Structure 1
């Protein structure tokens, strides 16, 4: 793709990309900054083998927004979110902020601020813009199933905010039980906690460490973990309980669990440093 074609593609997609950034960041001003940063990244990237320019541009803008959201979460939290991140439009504010409030709704913007960056991206791209979970997963460095769960969590925060804490508690109970059974070598208990079709999916960084890229079935997954996890710890990742292999003060591999009706359906093993940064991992 030539520079001229790339510029034309970016300008053709600008309205959609700006709308994505506005909903991701909750600010028209921040959205415009994100598009400027995204364009700098686009212009600096090799573009000779781009088969799907709209999808590629969505990826660049999505990752730019994730970086900005992650940086925002490192700032001290405001005492009153409604007065800080998503204020109601006033005569002193730019018309574009009123445009955002009108198009998204102030109530939704407030709820979006409670989502983790990954939940917010998954929910916005899929539910508001119809982006397939395969593409959302590529942006996040996650599987489509993980992207689907993240969007579902975001949707739950919007539709049933009082149920989120209970979901998190139940998720944590399953993860804690799995970690305990793994350490104790309790094979039967591991099987109980796993869906019959449970899978392990490892990213390339974990595969390079010697792990299998994919294991399918409760038997195979239980065999992989029985008697293991000696150096693993419970952590919080994207606001939900997870497990991580911790080494020299930082997470090297994060075990992210998909749980459905009290059973584990998928365990993602994530070791790519770029992905780990997005997970916002904390020891518990």
Structure 2
């Protein structure tokens, strides 16, 4: 029976942990630890298994956030969340898709562990403040204060998406076409003058270790890496000549993204933030350890209200 109860809520727990940690590998570890806690408790004394499991998972994730802070500060280059594949039906539920947007997860990295926990439990899963207070070991008034502080912080920093998902996909496809054809002018016209390209390779693949700023520098970098010579150089850094190579637009973290696949394995992800009709920020993920998470999906089952 304990296996069945845990399995019924496992996707939900992974969804909570991923939003708290920005890492599917860490989320899976936390959920495994939650299973060990669950299997060791007298389950007859647990009145609400779902609430209990969310509480255990959240507390374990908070502990892990505190432990991984130093590790991320020593990371080579910018640290970005692990991208995940999201099922099409997630994208139809805007509130669920938005809660795993890479742009939002990047902002959540700047919150304290408690602020992030309260924000995720409230904004993504709609838990009452009384329940959240019990989970984090604070009074409801303190939980509300943390939520208000976190929400204000996110609203100040989170990009506002002023285009619908169909328009974002069209923009992403135009971006891919311009890169693929080497059309510098067409690409530059898609970019905001102050566009930023933030890349995360963790020192394990060829990618800039500093943020590239400005439409001219960003567009020239993208055309260079999209050229035949650039592709071959990148693939060599990714492990040698491929048997197969393909690039396409697919659904990643609730929105369209460009993914390059070598021999069936993802090697690069480009996720665009569009604002005022132009590309405002480009997230480039090339750390092979993080791209393994693209085989995971966080769908509605993982995002049901608790």
TM-score normalised by L of structure 2:
0.45
TM-score calculated relative to the size of structure 1: 0.48
